[in-house]
Amino acid sequence: MAGWEAIRTEVLARIRSRAWPLGTLIPTEAALAQEFGVARATVNRALSELARAGVLERKRKAGTRVAALPVRKATLDIPVIRAEVEARGEVYGLRLLRCDLAQPPVPVLARLGQDVGEMLHIETLHLASGRGFALEDRWLNPAILPTPLPDFAAISANEWLVAHVSYASGDISFAAEPASDAAAAALGIAQGSAVFVTERCTWAPDAPITWVRLVHAPGYRLSTVL
């Protein structure tokens, strides 16, 4: 028995086999290190990994216990849309529908948490092999943009941002909604169809960067392994 992965596997096996039931305290790192004949650091690595996965709960002095209600943590990759389209073997394209300065609506301001005056409003239709793939509605803080503006008809705002703007934090959420008239028309689907919607918000340390809402064409699926 050597290697932190082997130890992680063994510990996981004991949890799964109920040798260490849910909610119980497991032996200390030192004890496990001795049992497995490895350094404590190796046990630490294995247990930390399991703690991050939500299988264990660790507290200094209190010890390590098996999580009572294992909250499954799934990690999803949020790719750039172009990469997503190309990964399906289709040809990516984009059409800029609008790009102008305007006062963002209240819901957007609320999500951004700060009013920076007029923002750049961009609407883009992302295409996969010519068919509508996703409709993007974005509000961008103009303070972070250079003059002249980047050519958002050539490069998607998202890709320009990841390449040129540093940012600190953000959040993302997913929901199912009926397609609005505009979205339905742009994607060529029936109005009111169930569409998958992604909303993302990102901030630089000091100011909001962008709020974006993506309406995916029907059939879109977000998946990951547990």
Partner DNA sequence: ATTGCTATTATGTCTGCACATATTCCAAAG
Partner DNA sequence: CTTTGGAATATGTGCAGACATAATAGCAAT
Residues 6+ apart with CB under 8 A from 138: 121, 122, 123, 124, 157, 210, 211, 212, 213
Q: Residue 48, class by beta-carbon neighbours within 10 Å (0-12 exposed, 13-18 middle, 19+ buried)?
A: middle
> Any idea which residue has 């209190």 for tokens?
62
The residue (of 154 and 225) whose beta carbon lies closer to a copy of itself is 225
Of 40, 44, 70, 118, which one interacts with a copy of itself (CB under 8 A)?
70
List the x/- string, 26-45, binding to DNA by CB under 7 A: --xxx------xxxxxx-xx
124 DSSP β-pair partners: 96, 136
Taking CB under 8 A as the rule, does residue 138 contact a copy of itself?
no
Token output for 101: 């300065």
List the x/- string, 4-23, binding to a copy of itself by CB under 8 A: -----------xxxx---x-
Of 12, 51, 67, 80, which one interacts with DNA (CB under 7 A)?
51
132: nearest Cα among 198, 216, 220:
216
- Contacting positions for DNA (CB under 7 A): 2-6, 28-30, 37-42, 44-45, 47-48, 51, 58-64
- Contacting positions for a copy of itself (CB under 8 A): 15-18, 22, 54, 69-80, 83, 162-163, 166-178, 192-197, 200, 202, 216, 218-226
